[in-house]
Amino acid sequence: MIPVTKIDGTSMMLNAECIQSVERTPDTLITLTTGIKILVRNEVDEIVEAFKSYKRDIHGPKTGLTPGDFQ
């Protein structure tokens, strides 16, 4: 989940797995895989960084191993 602030000022947690796209329109428009669109106050870069952080938390840190290390 990533935190966002909707245009009306209310905060919510958004399921990062449901994000299909993020656009600057000039407000930030998040389109979900369900087709729902949400206008938020957060900048596009904030959403992208929150998404990356979420993915790192889920998948853990990179180990530096390469496929050849498993032979």
pLDDT tens digits for range 31-45: 999 999 999 999 999
SS3 content of the chain, % helix, strand, coil (to 5): 30, 35, 35
CA–CA distance, 28 with 44 (Å, rounded to integer): 6
Q: What is the pTM of this model?
A: 0.79
Gap between the terminal Cα atoms of the chain: 36
How confident is the model over 12-25, as a mean pLDDT?
A: 96
Structural domains present in the chain = 2-58 (2.40.50)
Residue 34's nearest CA partner among 20, 55, 15, 13 is 20
